[in-house]
Chain A
Amino acid sequence: MNRTESEPSRHLWHPVATVAEVNGTLNTMLMGDAVTVRVAGDHSGIVVFHGDRKLPVIVRFGFIWTSLGSPPSDLFEIPEAAEADRRNVSAGPVGVATSAPRAIENFLDMAHFPFVHTDILGAEPHTEVKDYDVELKETENEILATRCRFFQPMAALSAAGGMEVDYVYRVPHPFCAVLYKSSGADARRMDVIAIFAQPTSEESIRAHLFLSMIDTTHTDSEMRRFQQLIFGQDKPILENQRPRRLPLDPRSETPIRADLSSIVYRRWLSSRNIGYGVIPAAGQSGSAVHG
């Protein structure tokens, strides 16, 4: 049912690989279908096949994006990544047995820092999530969470000690999220970390991570390893969430004030009729009803 043409997420751009990851040919899955990525030796020609059908391609942030349907003409931007002194690094992909929306919701969540990323992104007893703002920007069709603050013992590799860190979160795509956090190296600027979830099936993803950092001291692989350590701590939690698909019925789980961004995210998925990787609310079977 969710593999039909009327499923809106079928017509989105999805990441399938980093350009660097593909050594000639890479076979991967996208929404239950096998796709093949081919990159010419000099990176000049990049093609993605679904069977013998050639799929549309965009290359952005060093990732190859494609779509099984008819995608919009463009993909969202992260303008900061273009700043001259940024270090742009990809990390992953990490295979996770969860749905793309569960992974995005986890990425937007601060309350788990002390419990899941203990002594790195949070530590008991600093567990409070102060009120923050979330808005749905109709023009860009994306979610923006601002005024997020959290106490962190070691916010990034470049951070010297504990500090209250400011966060801004963007959800520019149902399966992608971008966070901005105060940089440990330069307090006036923000580091950027993004997650692009490649839905290999409704209940499995490859999580591609993208970093755009202000950091002059660490190597690419050190930064990559740090991010993989963090995500490695989320993975067992994500794989122990039931159901694996994100339930959109408000009665399926219990939100609190700290979950405002997740509340808005779930509503936004509902209003966009996303039916992939979710359990639609009763009386609304995703694209089947509204498609």
Chain B
Amino acid sequence: MAELSGWFPVAASHDLPLRHVFQAKLFDREMAIWRADDGNVNVWENRCLHRGVRLSIGVNEGLELKCQYHGWRYANKTAGCIYIPAHPANAPARQITNRTYPAVERFGLVWTTLEKDLSFDVVWPDGDWSVLRAIPVHAGPDAVAAALCKVLGAVPRPDIHAFAYALSTLCEAPVLALLQPQDSGKTVIRCLLSGGAQMERRLAVQANATLTRFRNIVEADASLEPVESEPVFEPVASELAEPPAASPDAMTVRVERKWQVAEGITGLTVVPTTGNLPAFQPGAHIDVTLPTGVKRQYSITDGPGTWKSWTIAVKNEPNSRGGSRFIAETLRQGDLLSVSEPRNNFPLRRDAAETLLIAGGIGVTPLLAMARALAAVRSGFRLHVFARSETHVPLADQLDGLLPAVTLHLALDPAQVAQRLAEVIGPHAPGRQIYACGPGGMTQSVLAIAEELGWPEEAVHFENFNNDHVIDTSSAFAVDLARSALSIDVPAGQSLLSVLRAHGVELPSACERGACGTCRAEVIEGTPDHQDAYLSRGERASNRHIITCVSRSRTPRLVLDL
């Protein structure tokens, strides 16, 4: 049907009780409307991007909406998909984002518009108004509008809204009616009655009775061929039709707060300069590009459904090449920073019976986000933080909120650390998973101890903050790119990644030191010479992946799936 521009009511505030999902329709668009626990009202296209199931039959989990069919989870506000249960160990491509509509809650109604960038312009007459029960009518909006005027003597109020009518015949109090055009054969009448909280129930009952009679008259008149119009959907982004390979775009954020979160550690809270922050998964990081040109990765520490700000923590490295030192010394509150979209190389499975989170110092940052995500769904976890002293524990005040699941281990020497790790890790049982993050030495001992205790490798996940290996670039080899049908020589002294890029093969990268895994590629043939700190031992042995920024080839030729 023909769309009108402007804002339209699609629900009443009282249609959105706690943890409910409401189904609405406007100009053939079906919408799923739900209020998150933080009060935000979401108006989304009513279908899951996966296989088209209506999200209005999904589950409102508070800060995420879960689809009924395969349990995909979409984040509050951004509608980004942050978890796909069929592949619990993989982070979903960050671009899987449902279509959202603007939402404004005013005068007891939820309003939306099909237009982008249209500010809310409905001005309501002064006074208190109460929202009556919505009356759906099987007739198009023009027919309903005409009948309102003819049968009920309504007076159009275009000064308020193109579909607003003043009614004085419903009951003794003045009533304003708004029409919500659903499709060419269906309209919802939403009435507001003057009187607010002191409004008499009697008047509402009177008005409802008149409107119900009115509906019967209109429907008897309208040609009642029930037309179910085909809902209109946006196509999904073309990248989603293929496996993801996009390199994230940069965006600008403003430093809203900068403070010392522990000895030698600076905390930053950043906010978007326009719009909202995109969805992120627990464990995700952003690349921060500093004015000095240096790029660094920092984990987002926030819990699920956060969209107004992110908090990251930065350790002041004494030998900093300009990254952490700049943040500690030069950066000020109010400054702008260029950051990437969130990327996740450290995805959290949510199908574990018990999750052990083990942090060394600043390594607590991604684990804090994980702990919050697990706490939100009441999944069992423990967070162990190892630090030199109490004042060295980053974001200690935020850990308090997760008590009693948090244990601090302070001032231990390496032997004591090893012993303590063995105690907290304990024997493996099905459904137990470990996530470790910290300095390379610490994650190495977690791996070794877990192995000794009989943990299978796939139950131990880790993220390193740097790669301690000295990179050897003395070899020369050839690569064949299976999908691009290219053959390229990689000479000594140049990284595989840089040679690929020189030939126009775009691969995302971040740390370029073999620590973050962003530049990983799949190996079809040949044996890589692994020099990274990202792949696990099993992944290394299987030789199915290569971290292209540092690793090379043991065989004269490598065939990559690129």
Chains A and B bind each other: yes
- Name A's B-contacting residues (CB within 8 A): 105, 109, 111-112, 114-116, 124-129, 236-237, 240-243, 247, 249-259, 262
B69 contacts which of A112, A128, A255, A262 (Cβ < 8 Å)? A112
Contact assessment for A240 and B87 in the assembled complex, using a CB-CB cutoff below 8 Å: no
Tier of interface size on chain B: 35 or more
B52 CB within 8 Å of chain A: yes
Contact assessment for B85 and A242 in the assembled complex, using a CB-CB cutoff below 8 Å: no
Find chain A residues with CB under 8 A from B353 CB: 125
Encode B322-353 as 1/0 by CB contact (under 8 A) with A: 00000000000000000000000000001111
- Chain A residue nearest in CB terms to B350: A125
CB of A62, distance to nearest CB on chain B (Å): 31
Contact assessment for B235 and A237 in the assembled complex, using a CB-CB cutoff below 8 Å: no
Encode B394-410 as 1/0 by CB contact (under 8 A) with A: 00000000000000000
Find chain A residues with CB under 8 A from B89 CB: 128
B96 contacts which of A249, A250, A254, A258 (Cβ < 8 Å)? A254
CB of B333, distance to nearest CB on chain A (Å): 40
Quick one: given A125-B352, A128-B351, are A242 and B68 in contact (CB under 8 Å)? no
Contact assessment for B50 and A240 in the assembled complex, using a CB-CB cutoff below 8 Å: no
- Chain B residue nearest in CB terms to A113: B70
CB of B257, distance to nearest CB on chain A (Å): 37
Q: Which of B204-212, B236-244, B286-294 contacts A (4 or more CB under 8 A)?
A: B236-244
Bound state CA distance, A269 and B86, in angstroms?
Answer: 25
Contact assessment for A240 and B86 in the assembled complex, using a CB-CB cutoff below 8 Å: no
Contact assessment for B53 and A240 in the assembled complex, using a CB-CB cutoff below 8 Å: yes
Contact assessment for A129 and B87 in the assembled complex, using a CB-CB cutoff below 8 Å: yes
Contact assessment for B47 and A242 in the assembled complex, using a CB-CB cutoff below 8 Å: yes
- Chain A residue nearest in CB terms to B71: A115
Bound state CA distance, A240 and B67, in angstroms?
Answer: 12
Find chain B residues with CB under 8 A from A236 CB: 57
Contact assessment for B87 and A128 in the assembled complex, using a CB-CB cutoff below 8 Å: yes
User: 14 new A-B pairs (CB below 8 Å) besides A241-B54, A242-B52?
Assistant: A114-B71, A116-B68, A127-B71, A127-B86, A128-B89, A240-B53, A242-B47, A251-B238, A251-B241, A253-B52, A256-B92, A257-B86, A258-B86, A259-B51
B233 CB within 8 Å of chain A: yes
A128 contacts which of B57, B68, B86 (Cβ < 8 Å)? B86
Contact assessment for B54 and A240 in the assembled complex, using a CB-CB cutoff below 8 Å: yes
- Chain A residue nearest in CB terms to B231: A242
- Chain B residue nearest in CB terms to A128: B88
Quick one: given A250-B241, A252-B236, A254-B240, are A241 and B53 in contact (CB under 8 Å)? yes
CB of B260, distance to nearest CB on chain A (Å): 39
Bound state CA distance, A115 and B71, in angstroms?
Answer: 6
Find chain B residues with CB under 8 A from A116 CB: 68-69
B431 CB within 8 Å of chain A: yes
B230 CB within 8 Å of chain A: yes
B532 CB within 8 Å of chain A: no
CB of B279, distance to nearest CB on chain A (Å): 15
Most chain A beta carbons < 10 A, residue from B30, B57, B69: B69
A111 contacts which of B53, B68, B70 (Cβ < 8 Å)? B70
CB of A245, distance to nearest CB on chain B (Å): 9
Quick one: given A128-B351, A253-B50, are A243 and B233 in contact (CB under 8 Å)? yes
- Name B62-76 residues within 8 Å CB distance of A: 67-71
Find chain A residues with CB under 8 A from B235 CB: 249, 251-252
- Chain A residue nearest in CB terms to B95: A254
